[in-house]
Chains A and B, each alone.
Chain A
Amino acid sequence: MTTDHAPLDTSIRIVTPENIAFHYYLAGPFHRLLAYAIDLIVVLGLCLALLQGFSYLAPFLGGAAMGFLYLAWFLVFWGYGGFLETFLNGQTLGKRAVNLRVVSTSGLPINATQAMLRNILRVADFFFYASIGFASMLSTRRFQRLGDLASETMVVLEKRHRLIPLRVAASKLDEQIPLSFEADPRLAEALGGYVARRSDLTPERRAELAYILAEPLVRRWNLPRNADPDLVLCSLYQRTFFGAAERRPSPPALPEDHRRPFAQIDVRSTGAMDPPVELATANPFEHRPPDSEARRS
């Protein structure tokens, strides 16, 4: 497994055995401080609760209650982080609230040794008003404090992405785009990026952005002059990724180095090993369905 990192970014790229490269977003000191503050409150609350609990038990246990209380405090103080990170897969309650997770630098989940180590070594990071841990975080590329360095872990932000519908509403403009239109990969990427973000933009901003790309096309294809640029791009997007409503379009052009994506993950060979999956359907080259199927959508 190899790791790589994009310069000037706080993401880490990890290549899995499946040859998929995915990115972890590193959590900076302030995210982590927030999570730690929550954990601190939880630990203090737990300690107070234990104090309260054992004071109820004191009549039955006598002085021994004090002993058990101290023992419980010791375990909570030193074991809280390590225990939770072991059994909640790298999360404490604070990290869960802030959506952080501790993972090995290789991208794998952490084990008990790593969890205990990094939590006990936090003491060293808090030396001199936490300046040691802070300096260490700022000078390592994965924002690791000393405890992270020793246990080979990093803290990442967990982002949950909502899957947005790929399709956009069809419009009359769709029919006016020439059937010969074929977006090159760069245009396809731009269209994809635009449609993904357009819901975050105001109508004015959409028009302004879309105009840049739509205007020359409107002129070339003799579309109505007053066509909404936003709508033009949506139609182009629809055409690029889903094809024309009437006839089967050619699939979007392959990227120039078209052999690479399939060298990275050979769909057919993986498919051969697991017959039950419809992996093969993910291979566009084997699926040139009849026109009827395209028309149905």
Chain B
Amino acid sequence: MNVAEILDRRKGDWDQLDVMIGRMQRRSLRSFQPEELTRFGSLYRSACADLALAQAYKLPDQTIQYLHQLVARGHNVLYRSDRFRLSTWGRVLYRDLPRRIVRDPCVWIALALFWTLFLGSIAAAIMHPEFARGIAGEEALAQMEEMYAQPTHQRDRPSGERTAMAGFYVFHNAGIGLNCFAGGLVLGIGSLFEMGRNAIFLGAIFGSMAASVHAANFFEFVTAHGPFELTAICFSAAAGLRLGWSVIGTGGYTRAESLRRQAPKALALAGLAAVLFAFAAFIEGYISPSPLPYSTKATVAVLSTITLLLYVVGLGWPEPREADRAT
């Protein structure tokens, strides 16, 4: 008996393996009997052996190709990756992320740049009203004036509108944040541009509203959700910068490898930013426009600032212990 014949007889096993792979792709590993799993392992390894034989004996190409794809699919279900585990995400969120934020120059650069542009734009808008008009446009400013003409809590709001607003803010703002993050991939330019644009635009509106007679109404609206929202846009940009910078300052790795190492970290930061955007959206939908007194809204703002500080500084400041550093 020769090789082709042996392989010809193994067809039954291959079919069995093929069916098993199909089932494993669809169902979780737990639904398999231990014997089935051992059987799978041995079938897979013998298919590997068959492939080696078929290659060594130059069997027809199609047989080799068939075995190739069988082994490839088997390989894919055998060496499956840990797709999604909550505990990993928890560790990243409560331990790794705050530590990285405190020590990441990108975060501080983004924060500094944002606040410089934002405050500068406010100052410019207060001193030169035409600056605000040029940036935000005549119509938008007129609209804002009209919107805040009466105190926030006196405006008539049909029920459900708050949820609608919250949903819209998540859609819109978190979308901007993710765009800002992704834009950073091109040397960080997209992130800086998006963040700078938002800083100057928001600054122009803040400045012109601060100079307007309805300033009090405006600030009553924006106070509560401000801390989360402004921090979120900074974090988004910082995550984008981290991506962009990883290609420039490679730390001795190749550019692709450096990008690959930094990207998951940046993604975690961008994810945190998206969560902050969602928090901000809910505050903006439910608390900011509500008839609650200003003091309550200010308290919300203070509390959210304290939360952020506790998270970033409280969890992130302590030096990692040696044991943790190794992991």
Contacts and interface: CB of A to CB of B under 8 A. Distances in A.
B97 interface: no
A176 B164 CA distance: 86
Interface residues of B, number: 86
Interface in B132-187: 158-168, 170-172, 174-175, 178-179, 181-186
A121 B246 CA distance: 15
B244 to A, nearest CB: 10
Contact of B170 (A74, A166, A254): A74
A110 B83 CA distance: 7
Most buried by A among B3, B45, B59: B45
B1 A166 contact: no
Given A67-B163, A67-B168, A86-B84, A127 B190 contact: yes
A161 B263 CA distance: 36
A132 B186 contact: yes
B53 A110 contact: no
B138 to A, nearest CB: 28
A98 interface: no
A69 B52 contact: no
A109 B102 CA distance: 33
A111 B41 contact: no
Contacts of A261: 52-53, 55-56
B199 interface: no
- What class of interface size applies to chain A in its complex with B? 35 or more
A240 B243 CA distance: 58
Interface string A122-153: 11100100001000000000000011011110
Interface stretch (B7-15, B120-128, B211-219, B300-308): B7-15
Nearest to A68: B167
A297 B2 CA distance: 11
A42 interface: no
B272 interface: no
Contacts of B72: 22, 24, 107
A192 interface: yes
A166 B267 contact: no
Most buried by A among B3, B49, B51, B72: B49
Contact of A167 (B8, B62, B83, B171): B8
Nearest to A126: B182
Contact of A120 (B48, B164, B182): B182
Given A163-B66, A243-B5, A252-B3, 10 more contacts: A16-B79, A22-B72, A71-B170, A71-B171, A161-B69, A185-B58, A193-B61, A274-B41, A284-B53, A294-B1
Interface of B: 1-11, 13-14, 25, 38-39, 41-46, 48-53, 55-63, 65-66, 68-69, 71-72, 75-76, 79-84, 158-168, 170-172, 174-175, 178-179, 181-186, 190, 243, 256, 259-260, 263-264, 267, 270-271, 285
Lowest 6 A-B CB distances belong to which pairs? Answer: A63-B160, A67-B167, A261-B56, A62-B160, A67-B163, A70-B167
